[in-house]
Amino acid sequence: MRTHTLLTFSAALVSGFQLPHAAPPQRVVSSRAGAAPAMKSPFDLTGKVAFVAGVADSTGYGWAICKALASAGATIIVGTWPPVLGIFEKSLKAGKFDDDMILDDGSKMVISKIYPLDAVFDTKEEVPEDVATNKRYAGLDGFTIQECADAVAADYGKIDIFVHSLANGPEVAKPLLETSRTGYIAAMSASSYSLISCVQRFAPIMNEGGSVLSLGFIAAQQVVPGYGGGMSSAKAQLESDTRVLAWEAGRNYGIRVNCVSAGPLKSRAASAIQKGDTRTFIEVGIDYYLANAPLQKNLYSDDIGSVACALCAPAFGAVTGETLYVDNGMHAMGWATEQAGEKLWARKDPLNESELMGAKYTSQDNVS
């Protein structure tokens, strides 16, 4: 009898449940005929509204996250930087992104509405005269974070998901030692403080159980030469703020705040970072990851989109304050085993799979 009790108790611990103090009540079975109702998937986002800030083309992680959320059933609305808003809307209408809008089921993604959003301005009163009168902002009906949140609330009432896909560092090509105070603060303002301001203003219009997600980079924790201008500092702030916001927004609004630290992607914005004689910073970064990460495969925007979507789903409803790496395991590595930066900068072409060493360094049998 004692043995049976111990085994039952052990099984209860393994399954994650405690033994009840009393027998559970009998289940009442309905006498109505018919099939049992289908269980909704914990990854199903049908009926949810997702706002993705920082979408202006089909090459970045923000776009991939939109597609993943749409495939899961969410209604997609986006915020776009005013200077490129017109081009983005025209390209959408002209069908230039049609091939990139196909979802998992073969249907075409619908972006229900596009809002102008310049996340370096919190309220209308803070917009300087030279920006307010700039022709690239002319005719826009409110583009500050507060105005954008107000417009979303007027259109949708409450939303469920907010994705922060925003980053900008005007001096990103400069080493930190050469970065000006103005450039450093600008990087922080656009790339990290913007998350705080967005949560301040969007959290009140989010349903309880909602999710906020931002995009980080390994430079927050490790030195990445070439990623300058204070951007590494801004990403470190973003990760730290994720934890604090998880606490404060969780207690005040019942929403979750997480961060995905993504590997390098050759997006339009990333391609503008430091250039060498023949290659860009991001091209070298992609090859460096391919050569030295535990998983020797290319990282695609859809990889980040899928993980981001999962983090925003009810299945991850108990996860908050987390920075999750999606980089083929590169964050776990302490040193390069195959291709160092100097050789990669000198190359003219991307690495080929035939050049990868695979399992050479993973066992004694493979070490010469």
Alpha-carbon distance of 155 to 51, in angstroms, equals: 12
Residue with tokens 């043995």: 3
Catalytic residue among 235, 267, 301, 306: 235
Residue with tokens 């702030």: 237
- For 337, the token pair is 């085993």
**DSSP H or E segment with residue 233:** helix 231-253
- For 283, the token pair is 């091209």
By CB atoms closer than 10 A (0-12, 13-18, 19+), residue 39 is exposed
Alpha-carbon distance of 88 to 231, in angstroms, equals: 26
| C-beta contacts of 139-142 below 8 A and 24+ residues apart | 140/82, 140/85, 140/116, 141/116, 142/116
Alpha-carbon distance of 213 to 46, in angstroms, equals: 18
Radius of gyration of the chain (CA): 24
| C-beta contacts of 98-101 below 8 A and 24+ residues apart | 100/58, 100/63, 100/67, 101/58, 101/67
Catalytic residue among 58, 165, 192, 267: 192
Q: Cα–Cα distances in Å, from 77 out to 73, 135, 152, 216, 296?
A: 13, 25, 9, 22, 35
Q: Is 192 a catalytic site residue?
A: yes
Q: Is 235 a catalytic site residue?
A: yes
Q: How many residues does the chain have?
A: 368
Residue with tokens 């949810």: 48
265, 301 Cβ separation under 8 angstroms: yes
Give the active site residues.
192, 235
